[in-house]
Structure formats: structure tokens, C-alpha cells
């Protein structure tokens, strides 16, 4: 048996704002109602997403009537008039929220914008969807307690993000493609930074990531608007400058550990970037400290 009032209070007290790695959500309210009856036609300026745990009824949106029963999830989008009707009452859980676009990734902004325009309104027979399990994990059960408080925010974040796969129309593939592209670029940058002392050819790094040279080159040009070669050069200079200021290594040793083929090439490249030769840069910056 679920403790509806306790759960409702806990969710509304703890989860006014939900932060995660890619998005931030402003919560308008949570609801856990064991016996919801009819409401009047109305609309919101935010999403309101509901899950039916028991009971039967109907949901009307834009003149279309959708049957409601146990295991049904439905999505009321911003600005859309809707109404719930039921003769015997519905055991329903729901959350009203909006994406904080200023604190969310481009991919999330685009995904929820698409959801507002093209969401599937009603999903039936979905008690076994991950979204249903996340909902139930948030509910306090009599005699069983609940999750530790520290686990609640991350679980709520997972629930909110799961709506994209539940109600989205073919949105998961492009979303994950963009995320995977971002991850690949991050892996490439980490590999380069961890191996600056080694020759870093495009083919070697592409092989490590199991992608083509052309794809890797495009990741850099489109992802950070910098060529693969320019990124390596700037990272070598950045690390060299760091070592000049924080270590007692000689200029020759710094050239070697940052992957320059000779002291002459290192000095010339450093001069082009910093407008000072390495030795003078070290002396001038240390004098400022």
C-alpha cells in the first residue's frame, strides 16, 4: 500500500528544482492522488505528465478522447486544453514541470521542444516501461519505507528525462547520436592530453576510438571549430606553459614531455603562440608571482 499523502508532501518539499548532467527542471508541483475525479477543461504553460496506477476514465485533448486505465501514461503539453473525466475515480500520480533552458544542454532543449510539438499523447499498457518503475520507486510504501533522501533527486531526474523516450516520436536516436558524438570528442581530447609526449597522428587516435580519420577530423571541426592538428598544438603549448611555471624541468625536457620533436621547433611554436620564447616566458611569469 502506498502512502500517498506522505509521498505527495515529500516530493513537493524536496523536489522544487531537479538538476542533472544535461538539464535542469523547474517543478511546478507533484501529485499523488488515490482517487481523482473529473476536472474542468483547462491548460497549462508547462508540461503535466500523469501515470494511472488504478481505475478507469478518459482524457480529452483537442476533441480526441483517450481511454484511461491501469498502466496508462499521458502527456499534457504546454498550451493545450485538456480534461480528465472518470466515474469511479483514478489512482494517479503526476508531475508538472518546465525545462530551465538557460541551465540545460542544447540537446535537451531541442528534445523537449520537440516533445512539446510532437509528443504521443497517451501510452497504454506501460506498467513495465522504465518510466513506470521510476514512478513507483519514488512512492513511499507502508511497512517498506522509501529510498534514502540522497537518492530521490537523481531518481526524479531520471524520471523526467525518461519522458523523452516514453512520449517522443523517434527522438531517442538523434538525441543519443548527438550525445555519443560529444562523448567521442571528449574521449579524443582526453587521449590527446594523456599522451602528449607521444606522436599523435590522426590515424592513431582514430584507430584508438574505432572511427574513421574523416569522422574524427569532422568531430573536431564541427564540435569545437578547431582542426585536429590545431587542438594538439594548443594542448602541447598549454601543458608546456604549465610546466614552465610549476616545474624545474629544463626547456629541453619540457619539449620532450609535451611531444615536440626538437627544442628549436618547440621554441618557435611557443613563440608564435605566446609571443615570448619559453625561457623569457618562465622568467617573466615567475617574477609576477
Mean per-residue pLDDT for 56-79?
96
pLDDT above 90: percentage of residues in the chain: 82
Question: How much of the chain, in percent, has pLDDT values that exceed 70?
Answer: 94
What average pLDDT score do residues 109-133 get?
A: 94
pLDDT at position 1? 82
d(CA 33, CA 46): 20
3-state secondary structure of 122: strand
**Structural domains of the chain, with CATH:** 4-169 (2.60.120.10), 172-289 (1.10.10.60)
Residue given cell 611555471 in the structure block? 245
Q: Does 262 score more than 70 pLDDT?
A: yes
The residue ranges of DSSP E strands in 215-267, in sequence order, are none
Task: Look at residue 11 in the predicted model and tell me its pLDDT.
Answer: 94
Average pLDDT rounded to a whole number, residues 226-254: 95
pLDDT at 3 over 50: yes
Q: Is the pLDDT of residue 170 over 80?
A: no
Give just the sign of the alpha carbon dihedral 147, 153, 156, 162. Answer: negative
Return d(Cα 52, Cα 126) in angstroms, integer.
10
Mean pLDDT to the nearest integer, 98-102: 95
Q: How are strands ordered across the β-sheet holding 24-36? A: 17-19, 24-36, 90-99, 47-55, 73-76, 122-123
Per-residue pLDDT of 179-230, as tens digits, reads 567 888 999 999 999 999 999 999 999 998 888 999 999 999 988 999 999 9
- The whole-number pLDDT of residue 287 equals 80
> How large is the average pLDDT for residues 95-107?
94
Phi, psi of 195, deg, nearest 5: -130, 35
Quote the CA–CA distance of 281 and 289 in Å, as a whole number: 13
Q: What is the pLDDT of residue 179?
A: 52
Residue 281 near residue 241 (C-beta atoms within 8 A): yes
| CA 86 to chain centroid | 37
Which positions ≥6 away from 239 have C-beta within 8 Å? 193, 196, 257, 258
Phi, psi of 180 (to 5 degrees): -65, -35
Residue by residue, DSSP assigns 64-105 as EEEEE-TT-EEEE-TT--EEEE-SS-EEEEEEEEEE-GGGS-
pLDDT at 172 over 50: no
CB atoms within 10 A of CB 175: 20
Across 40-54, 139-153, 239-253, 264-278, least confident range: 139-153
Query: Are 197 and 258 a contacting pair, CB within 8 Å?
Result: yes
When pLDDT is averaged across residues 276-282 and rounded to a whole number, the result is 93
- Cα angle 196-197-201, degrees, rounded to a multiple of 5: 65
**Averaged pLDDT for residues 263-281:** 94
Q: What is the mean pLDDT of residues 250-279?
A: 95
Question: Mean pLDDT across the chain, nearest whole number?
Answer: 92
Amino acid at each position: 500500500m502506498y502512502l500517498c499523502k506522505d509521498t505527495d508532501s515529500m516530493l513537493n518539499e524536496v523536489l522544487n528544482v531537479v538538476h542533472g548532467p544535461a538539464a535542469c527542471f523547474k517543478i511546478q508541483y507533484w501529485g499523488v492522488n488515490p482517487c481523482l475525479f473529473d476536472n474542468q477543461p483547462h491548460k497549462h504553460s508547462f508540461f503535466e505528465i500523469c501515470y494511472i496506477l488504478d481505475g478507469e476514465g478518459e482524457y480529452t485533448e483537442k476533441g480526441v478522447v483517450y481511454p484511461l486505465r491501469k498502466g496508462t501514461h499521458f502527456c499534457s503539453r504546454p498550451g493545450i486544453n485538456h480534461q480528465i473525466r472518470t466515474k469511479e475515480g483514478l489512482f494517479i500520480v503526476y508531475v508538472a514541470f518546465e525545462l530551465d533552458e538557460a541551465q540545460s544542454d542544447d540537446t535537451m532543449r531541442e528534445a523537449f521542444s520537440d516533445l512539446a510539438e510532437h509528443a504521443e499523447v497517451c501510452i497504454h499498457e506501460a506498467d513495465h516501461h522504465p518510466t513506470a518503475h521510476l514512478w513507483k520507486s519514488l512512492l513511499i510504501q507502508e511497512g517498506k519505507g522509501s529510498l534514502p533522501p540522497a537518492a530521490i533527486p537523481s531518481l526524479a531526474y531520471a524520471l523526467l528525462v525518461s519522458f523523452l523516450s516514453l512520449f517522443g516520436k523517434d527522438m531517442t536516436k538523434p538525441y543519443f547520436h548527438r550525445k555519443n558524438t560529444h562523448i567521442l570528442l571528449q574521449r579524443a581530447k582526453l587521449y590527446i592530453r594523456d599522451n602528449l609526449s607521444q606522436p599523435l597522428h590522426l590515424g592513431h587516435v582514430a584507430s584508438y576510438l574505432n572511427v574513421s580519420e574523416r569522422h574524427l577530423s569532422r568531430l573536431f571541426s564541427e564540435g569545437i571549430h578547431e582542426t585536429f592538428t590545431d587542438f594538439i598544438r594548443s594542448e602541447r603549448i598549454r601543458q608546456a606553459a604549465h610546466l614552465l611555471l610549476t616545474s624545474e624541468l629544463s626547456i629541453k625536457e619540457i619539449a620532450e614531455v609535451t611531444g615536440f620533436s626538437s627544442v628549436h621547433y618547440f621554441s618557435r611554436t611557443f613563440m608564435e603562440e605566446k609571443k615570448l620564447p619559453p625561457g623569457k616566458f618562465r622568467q617573466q611569469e615567475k617574477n609576477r608571482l
